[in-house]
Structure 1
Amino acid sequence: MRTLKEVKCGETVSVTKLVGTGALKRRIMDMGLTKGTQVYVRKVAPLGDPIEINVRGYELSIRKAEAENIEVN
């Protein structure tokens, strides 16, 4: 399975699964990243961290460590 960390700039993907547990998973869900949500990757910083995405009509920046816990297709 591909993770959000591996998605290239300009791609739109759909969230299929959240891998994290406990507080990390809850935090990701609170940001609006739930199963079936469409995510557009706007920018990736030069060193790869953070990743700027559009989700549910707003812009969000997440760390690579968080993006590794979000499986997409």
Structure 2
Amino acid sequence: MSDTLKLSQARKGARGVIVRVGDHRHHGQEHAAELERRLLELGFVEGARIELLHEGLFGRDPIALKVDDMRVALRRHEAASLTVRLDTAAI
């Protein structure tokens, strides 16, 4: 799907829906499993609406996101574990 991308690739103002949590290419990695668990606990679940609100000054890191009705900051390497479908009106 051309309208899906890793959240780490999104730019400020992007809006969409989470379609996958975790990087399923790296089975068995303890760190990846722990990150996926933490993201789920923070509300990064499939179907959650997201909006990228802010990017840090240095290397665009960290990013501030609105996830449903909550605001969360993530580093881009953490955001790479989330796949989103962007709203076409926001592209």
TM-score where L is the length of structure 2: 0.74
Q: Corresponding residue for 1:33? A: 44
User: Aligned equivalents of 1:28 and 1:58: distance in 2?
Assistant: 13
**Residues 1:48 and 2:48 aligned together:** no
User: Aligned equivalents of 2:75 and 2:12: distance in 1?
Assistant: 15
Letter in 2 for 1:28: L
The 3-state SS of whatever aligns with 2:13 is coil
Residue ranges of structure 2 left out of the alignment (5+ in a row): 24-31, 86-91
1:1-73 → structure 2 map (5 Å cutoff):
1-20=4-23, 21-46=32-57, 47-73=59-85
TM-score where L is the length of structure 1: 0.91
Residue ranges of structure 1 left out of the alignment (5+ in a row): none
User: Aligned equivalents of 1:56 and 1:16: distance in 2?
Assistant: 14
Considering fraction of residues, name the structure with more strand: 1
Which stretches of structure 1, 4 residues or more, deviate above 4 A after TM superposition? none
Aligned-pair identity in percent equals: 21
